[in-house]
Chains A and B, each alone.
Chain A
Amino acid sequence: MQALKSKATNSLLASEKKSLFRFLTLYILMMMSIIVLISLFYYQNQEKTMFLSKRDMLSDYAYEQIKKLKILHDSFPAHNIYPRDPRFKSAIYDLEYVKIFSLIDSNDIDFNKDMYITDDNKIHFIKTLYEYYLGAKYLILEIPDDGQWKDEAWQNIFIFGGIAIILFTIIGFYIANLFLDPMRSSILLLDRFIKDTTHELNTPLSAILANIEMIDMTSITNDNKKKINRINIAAKTVSQLYQDLTYLTLEHDIHKNDENVENKSLIESRVECFDILAKSKDITFILDLEESYIYINRRKWTRVIDNLLSNAIKYNTRKGTIYITLEQNMLIVSDTGIGIETTKIPFVFDRYARFNNSEGGFGIGLSIVKKIIEEYNMQIEIKSRPKYGTIVSIKW
């Protein structure tokens, strides 16, 4: 059970991964937004605290400077030297925001605020004059911002923000796992059921197929021949399902036993095997096979071909056609069947994914194909158009 569980856990379905990804993306985005918002409030609060600590001092400076401006105003133009102070730089602007005189470095004054930090890290304090000495309504004091509060604020934001991100991510994973648990449990249950039933299928299925082979077809009536054929088709369908289930639950972990497989003869033999199934729907095979080899485990490659042929028959229309093209490094199986909607194509490889309930099956065939394709670094491409058919091509 433990082994089965870990196996299933490792092979998360694409839909499960997608759900997890969507949830985590949404969760992390929300969490990041909250953290950014809190950080912004914290930063602004730190800035306000810093302003508060400097405000009294700057108000005193402004008071002194205004007194000096008054003296200068009264003695102007006999004295025209603007009062300077080593503790700050200052400027005066009239009520039309026209500069009268300035010693400050930044000319970009924000008259809407009484205190702010400029882009070049200077603190500006704006004091409004009620008597316009020298025509000035605004006195701007400028002192350098040492940036210490900013460093502390950023440090705290990074430390506490980082801790919060880690904490929330852990919680997020925990919540996501809680959400996915029911889905995972049902997959495990299905896996267990398949594994248990597969063991019980082998003996009766082998007996049916062997006995059909042994029946002397010449000695029975045409009516009975048809019945036997139907039994044969049904048994082969079950056999195909059995092969898939066995591969899925038992064989996919087996060690590689790769060999140089001759594709043409293998495909011809598999087509022959599926011929009776195809004939039951009046489906014709059209083969265009070149000599081609592939270095692969024969049983695995057979599973790929069988699943492609089985799907091409299963989802084909009555009196349809299946084209099989074999090139040097490519196998193409196309049918004239019901097709799949483009939006559903990315999900056809999901285990238990089925898009048509009219046909039987567990929805595991293409999942197996994908696994084998990925194991041997091959490429698979599916093109489909509803009501026109599907083209599956494999390159190696």
Chain B
Amino acid sequence: MVRMFILWCAILLSLNATDAYDKNCVKCHASLPISLEKIFMQYLAAYGGKNNVKVGLDHYFRYPAKDISVMPSEFLNKYGVYYHYKNNDNELKKAIDIYWEKYKVIGRLK
């Protein structure tokens, strides 16, 4: 019974988390010509480790600016700096965590 409860909780949490990423990131980026994975690789090349990438993303979402963006200037000139932070720290953190887990390189190289 307890096991079932924990499983349900995990599923609900996971659905809620996926929502955070899908709702706040995927929907808007779908219209852009560059995939979220490519953007992730740009962040990875700029920031390196897991915590650094997450902190970099978080900072960018809070204070978006051309000069701190990891994207090429051509891209920024064409599409501009995108701002979608809705003052929801918890949701932002969840979205970033999902983003990292989804595209991280560790464990994917052969």
Does A137 touch B at the CB level, under 8 Å? yes
How many chain B residues touch the partner (CB < 8 A)? 18
Does A60 touch B at the CB level, under 8 Å? no
Check A132 against B47 for contact (C-beta < 8 Å): yes
Check A96 against B109 for contact (C-beta < 8 Å): no
Across the interface, A82 reaches (CB within 8 A) one of B44, B53, B109, namely B109
Check B51 against A96 for contact (C-beta < 8 Å): yes
B40 → chain A closest CB, angstroms: 10
Q: Chain A CB within 10 Å — which of B46, B53, B106, B109 has the most?
A: B109
Check A98 against B41 for contact (C-beta < 8 Å): no
From DSSP, what is the main secondary structure of chain B's interface residues? helix
Check B45 against A98 for contact (C-beta < 8 Å): no
How many chain A residues touch the partner (CB < 8 A)? 20
Check B110 against A135 for contact (C-beta < 8 Å): no
Does B50 touch A at the CB level, under 8 Å? yes
Does B80 touch A at the CB level, under 8 Å? no
Contacts of A77 in B (CB 8 A): 37, 108
A132 to B41, CA, bound (A): 10
Q: Scan residues 68-110 of chain B and give those whose CB is less than 8 A from a CB of chain A.
A: 104-106, 108-110
Contacts of B37 in A (CB 8 A): 77
Check B47 against A100 for contact (C-beta < 8 Å): no
Check B109 against A95 for contact (C-beta < 8 Å): no
Does A76 touch B at the CB level, under 8 Å? yes
Does A134 touch B at the CB level, under 8 Å? yes
Does A133 touch B at the CB level, under 8 Å? yes
A3 → chain B closest CB, angstroms: 87
Check B109 against A73 for contact (C-beta < 8 Å): no
B55 → chain A closest CB, angstroms: 11
A75 → chain B closest CB, angstroms: 10
Contact pattern, B 13-47, Cβ under 8 Å of A = 1, otherwise 0: 00000000000000000000000010001001111
Contacts of B106 in A (CB 8 A): 98-101, 135
Check A132 against B48 for contact (C-beta < 8 Å): yes
Q: Scan residues 79-112 of chain A and give those whose CB is less than 8 A from a CB of chain B.
A: 80-82, 94-96, 98-101
A98 to B36, CA, bound (A): 23
* Closest B residue, CB atoms, query A133: B45
A136 to B41, CA, bound (A): 11
A99 to B104, CA, bound (A): 12
Does A131 touch B at the CB level, under 8 Å? yes
A26 to B46, CA, bound (A): 61
A358 → chain B closest CB, angstroms: 86
Check B48 against A81 for contact (C-beta < 8 Å): no
**Which 10 A-B residue pairs are closest in the complex by CB-CB distance?**
A96-B49, A94-B49, A132-B48, A95-B48, A101-B109, A135-B44, A95-B49, A82-B109, A134-B105, A137-B48
17 sample A-B contacts, Cβ–Cβ < 8 Å, listed by A number: A73-B41, A77-B37, A80-B108, A81-B110, A94-B48, A94-B49, A95-B52, A96-B50, A96-B51, A98-B49, A100-B105, A100-B109, A101-B106, A132-B48, A135-B44, A135-B45, A136-B48
* Residues of B participating in the A interface, judged by any CB pair closer than 8 Å: 37, 41, 44-53, 104-106, 108-110
List 6 other contacts, CB 8 Å, given A80-B109, A134-B44. A76-B105, A77-B108, A99-B106, A135-B48, A135-B105, A135-B106
* Residues of A participating in the B interface, judged by any CB pair closer than 8 Å: 73, 76-77, 80-82, 94-96, 98-101, 131-137
